[in-house]
């Protein structure tokens, strides 16, 4: 019995996992598919882009690999399938190439055809814009991206930024031996590129600074961050997602630092709706310290998405939440500003809960279930509207390759987002989707052991 597998069994022996309601998540434990209820799970293919790997996988619900794409760069942000069968993925440029390496940096978007040939790329890596997090291929063939843009310290102060909250900053990274000093101020912009790489439309948060209900306060800083005010550094708004709705001509945005989501009218450029943190524009009570969330609803959220019924889904990370850090999936009615459905686990984190302080996603599937991605543990799971977990999976692809179990020193298993596609999706027409082998070959199937555990 190999060392990694033995550790997984030890962890499993200590767990009493409820079979019906929970998802499995832990610092140490087994990988692969841990639960699958075929009659309740949505049958499709999931795009898996581990951040520690240069390879992107297409897997079935039993974690069989049906297709792969290879890049010279590590996966960065999300990877999505286009209707023509191409893969559009964010890619992480090397640290010595990237202009500014804030969390979530990428700098490059690549498009590969089904055969793995790179057919297009877009580098957004200059002081005019550094691509990070969000991207979308639009119906007109253009590509919409989120980007940091450079402003000098003097420009930020002229806009009204308090100089006491804009001190010097440096970024450290385990993959980079030297701390990187950060110069200036880096607000977000939304850029639309045509296929030739030309900017044909742009929007800048810099043009919407103020204290009104449709503006961003340049001095708003969430006060409850354990290391000091959240957002005090140059990465001020940190937009981590976008989605365009062609029916309304609106762009849905998410700001990690403001803990808010927004609707932007593309034609006028104006913010027409915001949700998550009324204290950010002086209309609510800020969190009051440990145990007191104030009027704030979202905490460091990611991946808002338009839903067919007019609602909006969000993966609410719950990071730095005074009442206790825990993640949840929420569905919001923007007409009433109310959460109409949510899935969350206990406030005290256990192996039967889920939590990631950064990144993450929630995709509404055609059968009404949600596919969630909890980035920190490489954890994907599917939950029904009745809050039953019917598919549970831990990414086995680490920085060192496939593993049977996560250990304390495991790296590279993070997954920014995950998307599942129906088997009749246009991308799959005429494609060979036969299994090419397991995602974690040589590892045991842990499901029988988990299913034998007593319920409680």
* pLDDT tens per residue across span 209-221: 999 999 999 999 8
Tell whether the model's pLDDT for residue 224 goes beyond 90.
no
Q: Give strand ranges (E) for 74-198.
A: 74-81, 87-92, 107-112, 118-123, 125-126, 129-137, 143-148, 169-173, 176-182, 188-193
d(CA 67, CA 100) in angstroms, rounded, equals 33
Domain membership of residue 181 (yes or no) is: yes
Q: Are strands 370-374 and 379-383 parallel, antiparallel or unpaired?
A: antiparallel
What's the domain count of the chain?
A: 1
Cα distance between residue 183 and residue 161, in whole Å = 15
Q: Is 43 left (phi over 0), alpha (psi -120 to 50) or beta?
A: beta
Mean pLDDT (the chain) is 88
Report residue 346's pLDDT band, with 50, 70 and 90 as the boundaries. low
% helix / strand / coil in the chain, to the nearest 5?
10, 40, 50
Say whether pLDDT at 18 is over 50. no
Is 167 a domain residue?
yes
**Residue 336 lies inside a defined structural domain of this protein:** yes
Are residues 138 and 151 in contact, defined by beta-carbon separation less than 8 angstroms? Answer: no
Asked whether residue 411 is domain-assigned, the answer is: yes
CB within 8 Å of 262: residues ≥ 6 apart: 252, 253, 254, 255, 271, 273, 274, 275
The per-residue pLDDT for 452 is 56
Question: For the chain, how far is it from start to end, CA to CA, in angstroms?
Answer: 30
| Predicted pLDDT at 416 | 92
Displacement of CA 249 from its chain's centroid (Å)? 23
With respect to residue 456, please indicate whether it lies within any of the assigned structural domains. no
- Rounded to whole angstroms, how far apart are CA atoms 79 and 96? 23
pTM equals 0.91
Write out the E strands in 5-51.
29-30, 32-36, 44-50
In Å, how far are 40, 280, 291 from 284, measured between CA atoms? 41, 8, 17
**Quick check: 351 pLDDT over 90?**
no
| Predicted local distance difference test score (pLDDT) of residue 387 | 95
For the stretch 374-430, pLDDT in tens is 998 899 999 999 999 999 999 999 888 898 888 766 777 899 999 999 999 999 999
| Residue 270 resides in a domain | yes
Q: What range defines the domain where residue 391 resides?
A: 3-451
Question: What is the CATH number for 421?
Answer: 2.120.10.30
Residue 394: is it exposed, middle or buried by C-beta count within 10 angstroms (0-12/13-18/19+)? buried
> Which of 28-37, 92-101, 105-114, 401-410 has maximum average pLDDT?
105-114
CA 333/CA 331 separation, integer angstroms: 7
Beta pairing partners, 418: 48
Which of 153-157, 168-172, 241-245 is predicted least confidently? 168-172
């Amino acid at each position: 019995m190999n060392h990694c597998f033995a550790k997984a069994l030890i962890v499993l022996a200590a767990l009493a996992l409820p079979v019906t309601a929970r998802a499995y998540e832990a610092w140490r434990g087994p990988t692969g598919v841990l639960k699958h209820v075929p009659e309740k799970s949505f049958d499709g293919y999931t795009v898996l882009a581990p951040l520690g790997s240069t390879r992107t996988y297409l897997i079935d619900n039993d974690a069989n690999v049906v297709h792969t794409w290879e890049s010279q760069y590590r996966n960065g942000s999300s990877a999505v399938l286009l209707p023509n069968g191409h893969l559009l993925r964010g890619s992480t440029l090397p640290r010595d190439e990237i202009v500014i390496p804030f969390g979530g940096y990428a700098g490059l978007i690549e498009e590969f055809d089904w055969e793995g040939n790179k057919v297009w790329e877009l580098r957004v890596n200059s002081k005019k814009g550094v691509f990070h997090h969000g991207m979308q291929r639009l119906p007109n063939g253009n590509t919409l991206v989120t980007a940091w843009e450079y402003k000098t310290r003097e420009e930020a102060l002229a806009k009204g930024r308090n100089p006491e909250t804009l001190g010097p900053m440096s970024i450290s990274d385990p993959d980079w031996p030297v701390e990187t000093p950060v110069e200036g101020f880096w607000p977000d912009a939304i850029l639309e590129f045509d296929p030739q790489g030309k900017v044909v439309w742009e929007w800048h948060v810099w043009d919407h600074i103020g204290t009104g209900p449709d503006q961003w306060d340049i001095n708003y800083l969430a006060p409850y961050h354990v290391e000091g005010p959240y957002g005090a550094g140059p990465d001020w708004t940190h937009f981590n997602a976008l989605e365009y709705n062609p029916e309304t001509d609106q762009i849905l945005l998410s700001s990690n630092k403001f803990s808010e989501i927004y609707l932007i009218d593309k034609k006028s450029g104006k913010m027409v709706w915001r949700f998550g943190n009324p204290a950010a524009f002086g209309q609510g009570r800020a969190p009051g310290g440990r145990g007191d969330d104030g009027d704030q609803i979202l905490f460091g959220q990611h991946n808002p998405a338009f839903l067919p019924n007019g609602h909006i889904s969000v993966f609410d990370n719950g990071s730095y939440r005074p009442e206790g850090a825990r993640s949840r999936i929420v569905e919001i009615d923007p007409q009433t500003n109310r959460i109409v459905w949510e899935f969350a686990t206990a406030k005290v984190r256990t192996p039967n809960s889920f939590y990631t302080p950064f990144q993450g996603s929630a995709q509404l599937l055609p059968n009404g279930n949600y596919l969630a991605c909890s980035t920190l543990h490489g954890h994907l799971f599917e939950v029904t509207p009745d809050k039953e977990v019917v598919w549970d999976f831990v990414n086995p692809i680490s920085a060192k390759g496939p593993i049977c179990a996560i250990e304390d020193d495991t790296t590279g298993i993070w997954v920014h987002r995950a998307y599942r596609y129906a088997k009749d999706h246009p991308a799959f027409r005429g494609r060979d989707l036969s299994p090419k082998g397991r995602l974690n070959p040589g590892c045991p199937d842990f499901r029988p052991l988990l299913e034998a555990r007593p319920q409680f």
